[in-house]
Amino acid sequence: MSPSIDERWVARLLRFRWLLWLGLLTLAIGGVLLWRWADWQRSAMDDAHEAMRSLHEVRLRAHAEHVLASIANLHSAVPQQERLQALATQRHPHDVGHLSLHLLDRNGASLFPQDAIAPLLPGHYGSQAVALWLATAQRGGGLVRFSAPLPIAGPHAASGARSHAELVVSHTAVVHPVHPWDWTLVVAAPDPAPQGVASYTRVLLAQHRCCPWVLPLVAPLVLSLGVGLLVAHGFLRRMRTWLGMWRADIAIHQAAQTCCESLLQAVFENAAVGMVMATPQGRFLRVNQHFCDLLQRTREELLGTTLDCRALTDPRDRAATESALQWAMQSQNPRFRLEKRYCRPDGSTLWVSQAAQLVRTPQGEPDHLFVVVQDIQERKSAEQALLLAASVFTAAREAIMITELDGTIVDVNESFTRITGYERAQALGQNPRMLKSGRQNDAYYRNLWTSLQRYGHWHSEIWNRHKNGELFASMQTISLVRDEHGQPRHYVALFSDITAVKRHQQQLEHMAQFDALTGLPNRALLADRLQQSMLAVQRRDLYLATVYLDLDGFKAINERIGHDAADGVLAALAARMRTVLREGDTLARVGGDEFVAVLADLPDVASCAPMLDRLLAAAMEPVPSHGETIQTSASLGVTFYPQTDSIDAEQLLRQADQAMYQAKVAGKNRYHLFDAEHDRNVRGKHESIERIRHALLQNELVLYYQPKVDMRTGQVIGAEALLRWQHPRRGVLLPGAFLPDVENDPFAVELGEWVLRTAVRQVQEWLAQSVDLCVSVNVGARQLQQSHFVDRLRNILARFPDLPQGRLELEILESNALEDLEGISQVIMDCEALGVSFALDDFGTGYSSLTYLRRLPVKTIKIDQSFVRDMLEDADDLAILTGVIGLAQAFHREVIAEGVETVDHGTALLQLGCPLGQGYGIARPMPAAAIPIWVREWRPDPAWNPEEQWRIQTDYRI
C-alpha cells in the first residue's frame, strides 16, 4: 500500500529533527532567563535583607547603649522600683516595632514591674531564649539571634496568653551585663518584616533597566514556545504511531485478504471436482487442473479463443445446456444443475454433473458463471449396466432365478416359466426344491453348497423336474451376490434346458464309443475300460490279461464274398466270441478284423488258458453266409498286468499286438504269450540309442585323438580319432560303454558320418596351426556296406577343398572285411582314388588268411593290442608278433602296433622291426586342442635311439 499525501507530509515533518532541537533550545533559553531573573530577585532580596538587618542591629545597639546610659544616670536616691519603671517606659528615638527591653537578675527573673512591661516579659520568648541571654551576658555580652513568636495585636493581647495568630520569626537581641548589680540587659526585636525587604528589593531592582519588564515578559514567551515545539513534536510522533498502527491494521487486513485469496486459489486448484469461471457466452475465464484432466486438454487450450463451452459440449446436449442458461438469466434463481456430455480430443465423451451459478454485476447484469463439474461417467455406466441387466433379465433365453439366502425365490424371468412350467406368481415365495428331480444324491447337493460357500459360485449339469412331472436336464450356474460391504445378499441361478443336447450327446457317445457294425466297444472305450480294469486288479492284487485277436485270412474272405457279406460274418463272429467271455470281461473291435479282449480279475496267469481256447474255438466255428459256409481261424497275442516294470494301457496293447504277430509267424490259429524280459532288453537298447542320439544333438559327443609315432625317429605320423561321450552325470564315457548298442542300428551310419566330418574338419584346423597329421577313423561294417558310402565320403571331402590328400585314413576290422571281400576291396580302391587310405584294424584276432591279406588293398596293418600287451611275458604272443611283422614286410604293408604301454614294449617292437607304435606308453587319448602342444613337446625315450638299440640288441643276441 502506498502512503497518502498527509502521511508523506507527516513523515517529512518527522524527518526534520531540528524541530525537536529548536524546542529544547527554546526551553533551555527560557529556563536560563527564568533562572537569571530569579537569581536577580534573590540577590536583591538578600542585599535588602542584609542591609535591613545591619540597620536593625545598629538600632538595637544604640537603644541598648541608651538604656545603659539611662541606668548610669539614674539617681541613687530614687527607689529601685521606680527607677526600673522609668527605664521600662523609656522609648528610643530610633526604636523599631515589637522592641522589648528586659533586665534580668542572675537567675533570669525580670526586674521590671509587671504592669509596665507585661507585653515584654521574657517568658514570651521561652526558657531557651532566657538561658541564651544569661549565657551571653556571662561571656561579656553581645549580639544574639533566636526564633520566637511574634505577637499580633488582638483581643487576647492583654491577657498575656499566646494568640493563635502568632508567627514564629527570627529575632535579634543585644545582651549587656550591668555592673555592679550583676544584671543582664536584653534589648530584643524581631528581624525586619518581608514587606520592608520587598520594598527595598524593588528599589534595588529599579536600578537595572531591563529587569522590571523584559525578563518577566520574555521568559514565559520563550518557555511557551519551547513547550509548544515539544508538544508539536510529541504530537507528530504520536501521529506517526497512530499512522503505523493504521498501516499495520491495513497490512493485517491485506494479509488476511491475501491468505483468503491463496486459500481460495488452493481450493479452486486442488478441488476434487472441476471448477470453471466462464462468461455467459461460454468463453472460459478460469479453469482448475481437475477440469483440464477431465476434458484431457491443457489450460492453455481451454483459456484460448478457439474453444468454449458450446464447442466442447456434445451436440446432443447443447440445446439443453443453452435452455438451462437462458432460464437462469431470465429468472430470479441464479442456480441451475444439469447432466451433460463433454467431448474429448480422442473422440470419446465424458458424462458430467454440472452445478452452475450465475453471478451478476451490481447493476443486475449477468457477469460470469461459476460452474462445478463432477465426473459421473461411472454412475452413467452403472445405470446403463443396470438397464442392460434388466433387459437381459427380461429377454434372456436362459431361465434366471433370484433367491434369498434361505432359498426363498424372489424373482424369476419369463424363460423360467417357459422351461419349468411354473408361472412367476407360482414361483415367488417358493423354494428351488420344488424342481428337485431325485436323480442327484445328497452328496451332490453337499458339493453344491460347499462350492457356493468356498468359491461363491457353482456350475454343473443337473436334472430338474418340470411342473408336469417330466424330467429335464439343465446346465446350471449358481452365483452368490454380495453387497457393497462384501456381505452375502442373494443367490442367482441361471440355467438352460439341455435335454435335447443330452439325448444327442448320448447318441454321439454311443457312436464314439461303440462299433457301428458289431455293437462292441471301440478303441476309445476300450482304452478307458482297460485303464479302469488295470486300477481295479492292482487294488485287488489280481491279474489282467489283454488279448489281441486277429482273424486269419479274413482279407481273402472279404474279397471273395464281398464287403456286405463279410460284415455279416464279422458281426456273427463278434457275437459268438462275446458269448464265450465272462460278464465282466470286455471285447472290443479295434480294426477291420482285429479285436481286443480284456480278461480281468484273474487269480493267476494260467487261469486265462480256458478262455483263450474258447475264443479260438468260437473263431473257428462255421458261419453261414448267402448260401455258403464261411470258416476262419484266429491268432491271439496275450500279455498280462501287472508286470515288473511300470506300464500303461497303450503299452499293454502294443505288447499284445507284438505277441499276436508272433502267433501268426508260428503258424496261426494259436495264441502266443508276450515275453516281457525280451521286450525289456529291446526297449533298453532302443532307449540307449535315443539317449546317444540326444547326446549327439546336444554336442555331448566329442573326439579324442591318440598320437601314432615312429619310435625310432621320434616323428608323429598321425593320430587315431576315438569317440567319447561327455555324459552330464556319468562323466566321460569310453566307446565300449555305449557303442555296442548302436552297431546294428541305422543310427550307426549317421554317427559314423558325424565322426568323419568332425575328424576332417579337425585336420584342416590343425593345418592352419602348422600341424600336419593324418587322422585315422574307425568305420563300422554297417556304414562301410552302404551302397552310397563312397559318394557320402566324397561329399564330406568336398566341403574341405583345401585339405591335401593322404590326411584321412579309414580303419576297418578284419572280421568286417572278410564278410564281403570283393565289395570291400572295391570300396577301398574307390576311396584310394579320393586320396583316402585304409588300415586293417585288430589284425590277428579274426580268420587271417594270406589270400585275404593279398587281395585286400590296405596300406597298413594294425596289430591288436592284446598281442602287444603280453609279448614280454608270453612267448606265443611274441611269436605271433614276429610272424605278423614278417607277413606285413613280405606283402609290403606298413605295420603299427597298438598297446605300447611301457618303454620296454617299444624297445621290443623296435627289435622286431616294428618302429611304428601307439599306446599309453606314448600318449593317452587327448582333446583336439591338446594335440598341437603335445606334438611340439614330445620326444622319444632315450632307450629307443639307434645306438642304444644296437647295444641292447647285441646284448640280447649274446
Is the pLDDT score of 286 beyond 50? yes
Is the pLDDT score of 210 beyond 50? no
Is the pLDDT score of 118 beyond 70? no
> Which position has the higher pLDDT, 499 or 98?
499
Which pLDDT score is estimated for 153?
45
Average pLDDT over residues 707-731: 91
> Which position has the higher pLDDT, 218 or 242?
242
Give the integer Cα–Cα distance in Å for 563 and 557.
9
954 — pLDDT class (breaks 50, 70, 90): very low
Q: Residue 896 corresponds to which cell in the numbers above? A: 603299427
Please name the residue that has the C-alpha cell 452375502. 488
- Indicate the range of 108-117, 526-535, 609-618 predicted with least confidence: 108-117
Strand pairing of 916-918 and 633-641? Answer: unpaired
Which pLDDT score is estimated for 159?
42
CA angle 650, 651, 657 (to 5 degrees): 95
**What type of residue sits at position 292?**
C
Which pLDDT score is estimated for 112?
73
Q: In what order do the strands lie in the sheet with 142-150?
A: 100-104, 183-190, 167-178, 142-150
Is the pLDDT score of 432 beyond 80? yes
Average pLDDT over residues 155-183: 65
Strand pairing of 594-602 and 543-552? Answer: antiparallel
Which pLDDT score is estimated for 479?
92
767 — pLDDT class (breaks 50, 70, 90): very high
Which residues on neighbouring strands pair with residue 894, listed in sequence order?
860
Q: Model confidence over 67-81: pLDDT tens digits? A: 777 777 654 555 666
pTM: 0.39
Which pLDDT score is estimated for 1?
46
Which pLDDT score is estimated for 765?
93
Collect all residues with Cβ–Cβ distance below 8 Å to 465 and sequence separation of at least 6.
435, 436, 437, 438, 471, 472
- Return phi, psi of residue 143, to 5°: -95, 130
- Say whether the peptide bond before residue 488 is cis (omega within 30 degrees of 0): no
Average pLDDT over residues 447-476: 90
Which pLDDT score is estimated for 162?
45
Which pLDDT score is estimated for 252?
87
369 — pLDDT class (breaks 50, 70, 90): confident
Mean of pLDDT over the chain = 81
Which pLDDT score is estimated for 644?
81
User: Residue 882's closest CA among 874, 45, 176?
Assistant: 874
Give the integer Cα–Cα distance in Å for 267 and 255.
18
Helices (H), ranges, 16-152: 18-73, 80-89, 114-117, 127-138
Which pLDDT score is estimated for 916?
93
**What type of residue sits at position 313?**
T
Long-range contacts of 108-116 (CB under 8 A, 24+ apart): 108/133, 108/134, 108/184, 111/84, 111/183, 112/84, 112/85, 112/87, 112/88, 113/81, 113/84, 113/85, 113/88, 116/85, 116/88, 116/89
- Percent pLDDT > 90 in the chain is 18
Is the pLDDT score of 958 beyond 50? no
- Indicate the range of 182-196, 248-262, 759-773 predicted with least confidence: 182-196
Which pLDDT score is estimated for 719?
94
Is the pLDDT score of 813 beyond 90? no
**What type of residue sits at position 73?**
N
- Indicate the range of 382-386, 640-644, 660-664, 670-674 predicted with least confidence: 382-386
Q: Model confidence over 550-589: pLDDT tens digits? A: 999 888 888 888 888 888 888 999 999 999 999 889 999 9
> Which residue ranges form the domains of the chain, and what is each CATH number?
267-377 (3.30.450.20), 396-503 (3.30.450.20), 518-674 (3.30.70.270), 687-953 (3.20.20.450)
User: Residue 868's closest CA among 905, 835, 842?
Assistant: 905
Average pLDDT over residues 509-517: 80
Which pLDDT score is estimated for 37?
66
946 — pLDDT class (breaks 50, 70, 90): low
Average pLDDT over residues 375-391: 81
Which pLDDT score is estimated for 115?
42
Is the pLDDT score of 15 beyond 60? no
808 — pLDDT class (breaks 50, 70, 90): very high
Using left for φ > 0, alpha for ψ between -120 and 50, and beta otherwise, residue 668 falls in left
DSSP conformation class of 217: H
Give the integer Cα–Cα distance in Å for 188 and 95.
11
User: Residue 518's closest CA among 599, 578, 565, 562?
Assistant: 578
